[in-house]
Amino acid sequence: MIVKVCGMRNAENIRQVEQTGADWMGFIDYERSPRYLAGIPDYLPESILKVGVFVQASLPRIQERIAAWRLDFVQLHGQETPALCRQLRQTGVKVIKAFSLRGPEDLQVTDDYLQDCDYFLFDTPCAGYGGSGKTFDWALLTHYQGSVPFLLSGGLNPNSLAALSTFHHPRWIGIDLNSGFEQAPGLKDVHALSSFISAFKHHTYNF
């Protein structure tokens, strides 16, 4: 199972989180987010993959961040088109498209992206884009029959292990951790992350 830790900003915290067992680390380029990363941190992770998170950003802006942050993945949280996803993949990065789920009908739009994305991310609807800190009804994903693998996001915290242990889906390949493991916006609790990731990865062999 893949573990992504998102919303990183502080160089020392990035170094620490890199050692927690996480596989991917996310950096947010969206000015309305409290975890917005305006520039380039003094340290970028070297041993795990880097994900840039965008909302309605232009192709040139995303390409600029791909170069500056040395991104392996681009994660799109707005109303980005399949055509943009296709363009980005052609530059060599992998594409994660996020979808907020209220009901089974919200899964229908994923059909348009099946050929142009490497992963989907399913999270909770909120007034902005992501970061609600609330868990959506995972039972909705019984209606997802697409071929693209997905990550679970939205409201995951140190107490989520039991719920995750009961979730099953053939396309589920990981989780996205953010506000539920923070001491302040953008500052992760390294001890809580390390303990959770270790337990999650141990238990996923038995899920």
Active site residues: 6, 123
- The H or E element spanning position 200 is helix 190-203
Q: How many CB atoms lie within 10 A of CB 160?
A: 18
Q: Which of 195, 24, 92, 81 is nearest to 203 (CA)?
A: 195
| Angstrom distance (rounded) from CA 71 to CA 142 | 32
Query: Helix/strand/coil (H, E, C) string of 19-63?
Result: CCCCCEEEEEECCCCCCECCCCCCCCCCCCEEEEEECCCCHHHHH
| Angstrom distance (rounded) from CA 93 to CA 118 | 10
